[in-house]
Amino acid sequence: MKEKKFASERRQIILKKLQEDQRIIIKDLSKEISVSEATLRTDLTKMEEEGLLKRTHGGAILANSDTDKEFSFFTREGKNKKEKLSIAKKASELISDGQCLMFDSSSTALELARLLNDLPYRLTVVTSGINTALELRDHPSITVILLGGIVKKGSFSLEGSLGINILNNINIDIMFASANGFSFEAGLTDFSVYEVELKKAMVEASNKVIALLDHTKINKNSIATFAKTEEIDMIITNYHASMGFKEKAQKHKIDVILAETNNRQ
C-alpha cells in the first residue's frame, strides 16, 4: 500500500530532485516515493503551468531560464518597488533603540535596511541577505551579523543549515521577512526548499515575526512553508483586505497593518 503524500510534499520532493539532478523520470520517481504515475503527471502539469518546470516525454526538467528570471534578486527587487518602500516605512515605525532584529534576504527587507541608515538607533541586525548586510555595514551604531550558508545561485541570499547554530546564542526581538506567498492555510511560503530550511530556524529563534507582503503575495502559495500561520504576529501590506481576510487574521491573532500607496488593490 502506497503511503499518502500531500500535494505540497510531492511538489517539494519534485523541486528538490530537479535542483539536484536537473531532470526527473516519472516512472522512476513513482517507485522511489511510492506515488502513482498519474498523480505525478498531474503535479507536473500544474507546476509547468506555474513556470516551475518544463514537461518532457516521460518526465520533466528544471525550467532554468524562466525560473532564474522569475526568482532572481534583481527581478524581485524591481517589482512593486513603490509598494515595498511603503511597507518598509511602516515597518521602520516598529523599530526602537537597542533591539536585535532579524532580516531575511528579501528585497522588501533590503528596503527596510536602507531606511535604517537614516535612523540614529543602536541596533544588532542578523540577516541571511548579503545585500542587506552590505547596506548596513557602515552604520556607526548597527552591528551586523551575516548568517553562514551557501550562496544561492542568481541571488544575494544564503541557504542551508550552516548558519543555524549561531541563532542559539542570539535573542531576536523581531524578525522581518517577506515570502513568495502567504495564505492562512499554508502560512509564509517560498520557492527554494533549501532557503526555507534556514528561514524556518530564523523564525524559531525570533520572539516576534512580522511579514512584509505586497499585494501580489497575498492568497498565494509557493512550494514550501517556512512560517506557519500561528507563528506570524503581524502582516504589513498594501493589500486592501476583505472583511473575510481580516476576520481570519483576527482568528489567528495576526495584526494586519495597511501600508497605503496610491494604487488601491
- Give the domains, in start order, of the chain with CATH numbers: 7-70 (1.10.10.10), 73-258 (3.40.50.1360)
CA 206/CA 168 separation, integer angstroms = 10
pLDDT tens per residue across span 54-100: 888 888 887 654 444 444 444 454 567 889 999 999 999 999 999 99
Answer for the pair 124, 101: CB distance below 8 angstroms, yes or no: yes
Report which residue type is found at 20: E
Q: Which helix (H) or strand (E) holds 72?
A: none
**Which range (106-120, 156-170, 188-202, 248-262) has the least confidence?**
156-170
Residue 191 pLDDT? 78
Answer for the pair 128, 105: CB distance below 8 angstroms, yes or no: yes
Whose cell is 532584529? That residue is: 101
Residue 264 predicted with pLDDT over 60: no
Q: How far apart are the first and last CA of the chain?
A: 48
* Per-residue b or e along 200-216, where b marks 16 or more CB atoms closer than 10 Å to that residue's CB: bbbbebbeebbbbbbbe
SS3 state at 217: helix
CA distances from 231 to 69, 90, 140, 185, 234 (A): 31, 20, 33, 13, 10
Position with higher pLDDT, 261 vs 74: 261
pLDDT tens per residue across span 135-166: 999 999 999 999 987 776 656 677 777 778 88
pLDDT tens per residue across span 209-256: 999 999 999 999 888 899 999 999 999 999 988 889 999 999 999 999
Give the strand pairing for 234-237 and 209-213.
parallel
Answer for the pair 208, 185: CB distance below 8 angstroms, yes or no: no
Answer for the pair 199, 231: CB distance below 8 angstroms, yes or no: no
DSSP string for 96-130: -TT-EEEE-S-HHHHHHHHHHTT----EEEEESBH
Answer for the pair 196, 231: CB distance below 8 angstroms, yes or no: no
